[in-house]
Structure 1
Amino acid sequence: MSTISPEATNALNVKDPSLYNEDLAPVPKEKRNWNWINYTTVWMGMVHNIVAYETAGSLLGLGMSVWQALATVIIANIILIIVMWLNSVAGAKYGLPFPVLVRASFGYNGAHFPILIRAFVAIFWFAVQAYAGSMAVGAVLGALIPGWNSLSAFNILGMGLNEAIAVALFWILHAYIISHGMERVKFFELWAGPLVIVLGLGLVVWAIFVSRGLGPLFEEPSTLSGGEFWGIFWVSVTGLVGTWATLILNIPDFTRFSRSQRDQVIGQAIGLPGTAILFAIMSIITTSGTVIAFGEPIWNPVELLQRFDNPIVLILGAFALLIATLSVNVAANVVSPAYDLVNLLPQKLTFVRAGLISIVVAIFFMPWLWFDNAGTIFNVLGAIGGALGPVAGIMVADFYFVRKGNYDLDSFYKKDGIYAYKNGWNPKALIALGIGLLASFIGLIIPALQQLYTYSWFLGIGAGFVSYLLLMRTSSSGQEAEIEKAPPTVN
């Protein structure tokens, strides 16, 4: 009977240094300590932010009634949690982040392409959120420092000097939090999310007071005809899904720390559709109240706080908004590109270094030049969803239908494993990605099909899923569609 020598056994488990470092390694069982409360509060911290508030409130600015806006938010969040759950399982099962898991479908070299798309979008989204939060910083400083607003006479890169200082200060706050790694992120999210609920409830009470009850808020009619409503409805659903398109992909970056599948499933169920819908209701009711109080919908919460002309209300409210935006930005838009950049240069970058690089790169998107517009927000969100939808479809198809829910753990870190494909590239995944991107953006390319862009995320995820599955099922190589055995135990 032959035996395998210790040297041969070690050779089988050798990890290529260009594919492996501590941040990309499976999280050991003893360090998977996030429970359902952690996932609930992380999502609370992420959904309670200025952009999410504006996105929900701006539905009224687009002409929807309160009931139509609520239905739009609820449907979008039901779709979101289903896709989020589907892509969460592998992270919790293997303790692996998105940049490693995506190697199974694209190959270790091919994976760089979707990773770079996702990193680009996350850094862009960080810039948007950070600028929104910097407005709260500026509002606080304006209430505390005489002559603060006069600094706007000095222009820097299209901003007033006061605005530029607020942006710089808020960027520095992000750097401080991320410099302490994922444990600091976990601690910060634990209390940041619930804090914003207090502000939201306060604004809801105000809206009910000025409207003399909930009735007038819900009686405001829609200004949209039937055809107009359905067009805006699908654009809005796609935009709301696009808000979390990056998280759909990189949710394994969080579920890799889960104690169990049950913890991440329950925590996300409460945290995403539950608190997201609650926060949207707060935003929509408050924005509806502004129509009654001021004669126009005000969906920018900083502008609303300034309308109260009360420095104490402004400072407390802006502080809550600042914490909320820090919370979502660190969790959703720094963690993901940090892991992405580490994957590109595992021998040179750590999670913290990569996170700080992401923050610096984000400045070059200059969101202050184009931000405050409801139509622009939904167009940008639709483009984000369209770009990332095909990758999500490919990952879901690969894990559940090609791999039957099982990955070979060692092969993620080898250049001669079953995910090597052709020199690290899986042409079929790249073709599927191209088909998915074409489906997402064909409405922009061909004017006659412009209406299809309304459904960009849905078309992208569907086309990516179907085309990848068909290409892999008709593969001539048995290795590419190999159904793997149970993975080795992670120690």
Structure 2
Amino acid sequence: MSAGAAVDVLAAFNLAWVTAASDFTRFTKKKSSSTWAPFLGADLGLIWFALIGIIATIATAITLEHFDPNNSDPSTIASKLGLGVLAMLVIIITSTTANAVNLMSAGSALTNMTKKFSLRASLIIVTIVSVFVTFIPLFYSTFLDVFTAFLDGIGMVLGPEIAIFLVDFYFVQHQNYLSDQFTRKNGVYWYSNGVNWSAIISWALAVCGYWIIKQIPILADTVGATPLAMLLAAVIYICLAKFAKKKRPAI
């Protein structure tokens, strides 16, 4: 794996939790609870599980006397080391509890997107969709291939999205959101019939940019596509948002 590919994988692995965390930290009472607590917790969890994965993969390679990247799959490790059914049950239970956070976040996001669904209905919908998604690895030759493809998708979609969030908060809105305007029709954040086209266009162009960068080895193998796509999204959005803000009538 090249340095750029490693950057993309690690970036995507972390970006996947950023948007999920915000669905929970917004309910905290203190600023420190919504910033430092999840930051430290996420880092601790990442380092801990990364170390477990590294040690387990090395142990498997030593035991089997050869290295196979596909052995990074926890279920493969448990099977080849002869850890039995108990280890498999632990993997299933921990995967279920971890994904409960993702499902809750997805359900909350769907509810925020449309008021037609209650939180319970949204959770049921995203859970059903997720069940079908879990069968996708069956169509790939190895778990590593599908996981890498999944992380590429995360970096391509969420990287530019998060860059737009940050630019909008720090440079466009100058860290001053009007919370009472978020759900107000024809309010400050209503934009064009409820759609922020500057953000949509910036995101779409950055996603295309990600794919193009992936085809350029000198960039994809060194810097990685995710950081460059995020930078592209940030630059495009700040330009479009500033232009749109000048044309938008005061409310």
Where does 1:83-482 land on structure 2 (aligned, <5 Å)? 232-297=2-67, 298-309=71-82, 313-332=83-102, 334-347=103-116, 349-365=117-133, 366-367=135-136, 368-370=138-140, 372-443=142-213, 447=215, 449=216, 451-453=218-220, 455-475=224-244, 477=246, 479=248
Amino acid at match of 1:417: G
Go from structure 1 to structure 2 and tell me whether the alpha carbon gap of 1:354 and 1:371 turns closer, same or farther (over 3 Å shift): farther
Amino acid at match of 1:383: G
- Is the 2:57–2:77 Cα contact (8 Å) retained in structure 1? no
Task: Quote the Cα distance in structure 2 between the aligned partners of 1:304 and 1:433.
Answer: 38
Amino acid at match of 1:436: A
Task: Quote the Cα distance in structure 2 between the aligned partners of 1:299 and 1:476.
Answer: 48
Alignment deviations for residues 122-175 of structure 1 (CA, whole Å, 9 cap, x no partner): xxxxxxxxxxxxxxxxxxxxxxxxxxxxxxxxxxxxxxxxxxxxxxxxxxxxxx
Deviation at 1:337, TM superposition (A): 2.0
Amino acid at match of 2:126: S
- Is the 2:25–2:33 Cα contact (8 Å) retained in structure 1? no
- 1:119 corresponds in structure 2 to none
| TM, length-normalised to structure 1 | 0.46
Alignment deviations for residues 5-62 of structure 1 (CA, whole Å, 9 cap, x no partner): xxxxxxxxxxxxxxxxxxxxxxxxxxxxxxxxxxxxxxxxxxxxxxxxxxxxxxxxx6
Task: Quote the Cα distance in structure 2 between the aligned partners of 1:252 and 1:289.
Answer: 36
Number of equivalenced pairs: 244
Task: Quote the Cα distance in structure 2 between the aligned partners of 1:269 and 1:262.
Answer: 10
Task: Quote the Cα distance in structure 1 between the aligned partners of 2:14 and 2:8.
Answer: 10
- Is the 1:258–1:264 Cα contact (8 Å) retained in structure 2? yes
Go from structure 1 to structure 2 and tell me whether the alpha carbon gap of 1:415 and 1:359 turns closer, same or farther (over 3 Å shift): same
Amino acid at match of 1:477: K
Deviates more, 1:427-436 or 1:462-471: 427-436
SS of residue matched to 1:251: helix
Deviation at 1:325, TM superposition (A): 0.4
Task: Quote the Cα distance in structure 2 between the aligned partners of 1:248 and 1:391.
Answer: 11
Larger radius of gyration: 1
- Is the 1:242–1:381 Cα contact (8 Å) retained in structure 2? yes
SS of residue matched to 1:257: coil
Task: Quote the Cα distance in structure 1 between the aligned partners of 2:201 and 2:74.
Answer: 43
Identical-pair percentage:
23
Deviation at 1:344, TM superposition (A): 3.7
- 1:39 corresponds in structure 2 to none
SS of residue matched to 1:413: coil
Q: Which runs of 5+ in 2 are unaligned?
A: none
- Is the 1:418–1:479 Cα contact (8 Å) retained in structure 2? no
- Is the 1:238–1:382 Cα contact (8 Å) retained in structure 2? yes
Alignment deviations for residues 328-364 of structure 1 (CA, whole Å, 9 cap, x no partner): 21102x12221232234313x1212211111212233
SS of residue matched to 2:142: coil
Deviation at 1:281, TM superposition (A): 1.5
Alignment deviations for residues 172-196 of structure 1 (CA, whole Å, 9 cap, x no partner): xxxxxxxxxxxxxxxxxxxxxxxxx
Task: Quote the Cα distance in structure 1 between the aligned partners of 2:85 and 2:148.
Answer: 29
Go from structure 1 to structure 2 and tell me whether the alpha carbon gap of 1:441 and 1:380 turns closer, same or farther (over 3 Å shift): same
Q: Specify which structure has the bigger relative contact order, considering alpha-carbon pairs within 8 angstroms and separated by 6 or more residues.
A: 1
Alignment deviations for residues 456-479 of structure 1 (CA, whole Å, 9 cap, x no partner): 221221111111112222346365
Alignment deviations for residues 53-81 of structure 1 (CA, whole Å, 9 cap, x no partner): xxxxxxxxx6xxxxxxxxxxxxxxxxxxx
Alignment deviations for residues 352-388 of structure 1 (CA, whole Å, 9 cap, x no partner): 2211111212233322222733244223311221122
SS of residue matched to 1:460: helix
Amino acid at match of 2:79: Q
- Is the 1:305–1:314 Cα contact (8 Å) retained in structure 2? yes
Go from structure 1 to structure 2 and tell me whether the alpha carbon gap of 1:303 and 1:295 turns closer, same or farther (over 3 Å shift): same
- 1:204 corresponds in structure 2 to none
SS of residue matched to 1:419: coil
- Is the 2:206–2:232 Cα contact (8 Å) retained in structure 1? yes
Go from structure 1 to structure 2 and tell me whether the alpha carbon gap of 1:452 and 1:352 turns closer, same or farther (over 3 Å shift): farther
Alignment deviations for residues 254-286 of structure 1 (CA, whole Å, 9 cap, x no partner): 111223121233322332222311221222122
Instruction: Give the superposed CA RMSD.
Output: 2.5
Amino acid at match of 2:177: Y
